[in-house]
């Protein structure tokens, strides 16, 4: 096991990692920017070291600053948390070059899973279903029509180069396809200098479901069930729950088992999350793998009793997993509410400033992961996550009821938070029936959603 770990992150995840270090009996050094001098993780650390100014490019995103901090404080490992440099294989490589261990997959594993397209092909080859698409780039109109018939309408025309929606169209019929191809070609040519296009099946009303896996260095892997992250606003997750209300027990086990089998065979190591889009018919399509601890990991911890951050550290230290799949028996239902400093009444504009008062909720099944304290000044430079409120219950209704009580108990004075959107969700029929899809909040509009909740 490591002797001393540098925590190369901030906020609630820095605190979460610090707690895991304490549990394992490992000393924790917190690297902080000037803007985080008074932060809770910096205060609680065994040692805290200032690595740079508020600007993340010169602090939390600066590999030399972080590694230098690890070296001068005598650390033997670096925990990157999520975001920042957590999935940067070149950072992992430099960490190792300085005789430090990167807590996550080894650099060569990160490298293997670095490209989304490459990972889809790799894991597709190990039996994970991917979104159906054309067998190659479109050669001509006849080829496109033939491929679209095989995939089934609606289909999405995508340019091989670039992104940002240029040269991209969803079409529902062969006539639409023929006329759209010409437009997409010229758009792609103009935007990227390359007019090659391909087709992908258009998935309507999808759910975002992800499978948590843990694989040790010796090729022993387990899954820890799935999480449903379908409640999103502009592709940002707001609320997550486990198990997914959309999957039957058989479908859930099948998806999780296929996921862990594929990553073990593909040589993955450490904790990771495989993301799937699930359509209305229950078909799951693999989209990407996250090679790090995720924001929403606590709901899995609540269900399985496994400390995922400690597991991540132990695997990086070369320890065997020490748990069999049969020992993972998920119990009950858990919901995570992301508490953000943003104003739902004003298009979720972020806010920052002094926390005049803070009181965490409590009671059976309630967990609050937050770096707030009364008198803490939330800096404006970083993401708006103030903490995560997690409600567990033996069943979904109890988890929801406990969530309502906890949201009412939570006090954060001085900042505008998104708590209202969570209250509204817990009164919303679609959510209560477990029918949320990733596009629903955006389609209804958050303002209309809140207004409807206020009326009921």
Partner 1 sequence: MPDAKASERDRLADHAAIARLVDGLLPALIAKLSTTRLGELEVREGDWRIRLRRPTAGETKDGRRATDRPSRTQPGHEGHGHQRSAPEASRPPRIALPTGYADATIGSNGSGGAKTTNGAGGGDYEPAQPVATSPAVGVFHPGPRAAAGTRIRAGDTLGSVDVLGVPQEVVAPVDGVVGASLVEGGTAVEYGQDLVQIELAASAEAR
Known catalytic residues are 292
CB 287 within 8 A of CB 276: yes
DSSP state of 23: H
Residue choice 21, 26, 30, 407 for contact with partner 1 (CB under 8 A): 30
- Is 51 near partner 1 (CB under 8 A)? yes
Residues 76-135 that bind partner 1 (CB under 8 A): 98
- Is 447 near partner 1 (CB under 8 A)? no
- Is 52 near partner 1 (CB under 8 A)? yes
| Residues contacting residue 231 through CB under 8 Å, at least 6 positions apart | 237, 238, 239, 240, 425, 431, 436, 441
- Is 54 near partner 1 (CB under 8 A)? yes
Least spacing, CB of residue 164 vs partner 1, in Å: 8
Least spacing, CB of residue 68 vs partner 1, in Å: 5
- Is 53 near partner 1 (CB under 8 A)? yes
Strand partners, 155: 171, 201
Residue choice 20, 26, 35, 426 for contact with partner 1 (CB under 8 A): 35
Residues 202-231 that bind partner 1 (CB under 8 A): none
Burial class (CB in 10 A: 0-12, 13-18, 19+), 115: exposed
- Is 400 near partner 1 (CB under 8 A)? no
Nearer to partner 1, 44 or 444 (CB): 44
Angstrom distance (rounded) from CA 277 to CA 292: 19
Q: Is 9 left (phi over 0), alpha (psi -120 to 50) or beta?
A: beta
Residue choice 353, 374, 414, 434 for contact with partner 1 (CB under 8 A): 353
- Is 49 near partner 1 (CB under 8 A)? yes
In 318-396, beta strands by DSSP E:
333-340, 342-343, 349-350, 353-354, 357-359, 366-370, 377-378, 385-393
- Is 363 near partner 1 (CB under 8 A)? no
- Is 6 near partner 1 (CB under 8 A)? no
Residue choice 1, 23, 64, 322 for contact with partner 1 (CB under 8 A): 64
Could you tell me how far CA 325 lies from the centroid of its own chain?
23
- Is 71 near partner 1 (CB under 8 A)? yes
Give alpha helix (H) positions in 238-307. 249-265, 297-304
Name the site residues for partner 1 (rule: CB under 8 A): 27, 30, 33-35, 37-38, 42-55, 59, 64-65, 67-69, 71-73, 98, 351-353, 379-380
């Amino acid at each position: 096991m490591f002797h001393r770990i540098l925590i190369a992150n901030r906020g609630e995840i820095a605190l979460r990692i610090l707690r895991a270090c304490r549990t394992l009996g490992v000393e924790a050094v917190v690297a902080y920017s000037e803007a985080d001098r008074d932060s809770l993780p910096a205060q609680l650390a065994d040692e805290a070291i200032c690595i740079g100014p508020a600007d993340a490019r010169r602090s939390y995103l600066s590999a030399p600053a972080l590694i230098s901090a690890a070296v001068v404080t005598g650390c033997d490992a670096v925990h990157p948390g999520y975001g920042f440099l957590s999935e940067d294989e070149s950072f992992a490589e430099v960490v190792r070059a300085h005789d430090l261990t990167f807590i996550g997959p080894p650099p060569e594993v990160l490298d293997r899973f670095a490209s989304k397209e490459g990972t889809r092909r790799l894991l597709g080859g190990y039996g994970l279903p991917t979104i159906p698409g054309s067998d190659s780039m479109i050669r001509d109109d006849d080829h496109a029509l033939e491929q679209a018939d095989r995939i089934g309408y609606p289909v999405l025309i995508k340019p091989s180069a670039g992104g940002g929606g240029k040269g991209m169209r969803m079409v529902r019929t062969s006539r639409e396809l023929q006329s759209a191809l010409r437009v997409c070609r010229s758009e792609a040519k103009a935007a990227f200098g390359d007019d090659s296009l391909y087709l992908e099946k258009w998935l309507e009303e999808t759910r975002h479901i992800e499978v948590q896996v843990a694989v040790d260095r010796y090729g022993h892997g387990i899954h820890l069930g799935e999480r449903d992250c379908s409640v999103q606003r502009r592709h940002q997750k707001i609320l997550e729950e486990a198990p997914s209300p959309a999957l039957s027990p058989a479908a859930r086990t099948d998806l999780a088992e296929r996921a862990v089998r594929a990553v073990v065979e593909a040589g993955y190591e450490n904790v990771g999350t495989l993301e799937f889009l699930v359509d209305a018919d229950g078909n799951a399509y693999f989209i990407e793998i996250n090679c790090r601890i995720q924001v929403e990991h606590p709901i899995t911890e609540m269900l399985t009793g496994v400390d995922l951050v400690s597991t991540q550290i132990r695997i990086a230290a070369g320890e065997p997993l020490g748990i069999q799949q049969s020992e993972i028996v998920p119990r009950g239902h858990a919901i995570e509410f992301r508490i953000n400093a943003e104003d739902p009444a004003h298009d979720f504009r972020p806010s920052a400033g002094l926390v005049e008062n803070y009181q965490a909720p409590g009671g059976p099944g309630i967990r609050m992961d937050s770096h707030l304290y009364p008198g803490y000044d939330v800096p404006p430079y970083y993401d708006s996550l103030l903490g995560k409120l997690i409600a567990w219950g033996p069943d979904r209704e109890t988890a929801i009821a406990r969530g309502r009580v906890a949201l009412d108990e939570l006090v954060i004075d001085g900042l505008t938070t998104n708590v209202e959107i969570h209250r509204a969700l817990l009164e919303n029929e679609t959510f209560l029936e477990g029918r949320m899809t990733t596009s629903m909040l955006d389609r209804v509009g958050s303002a209309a959603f809140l207004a409807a909740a206020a009326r009921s």
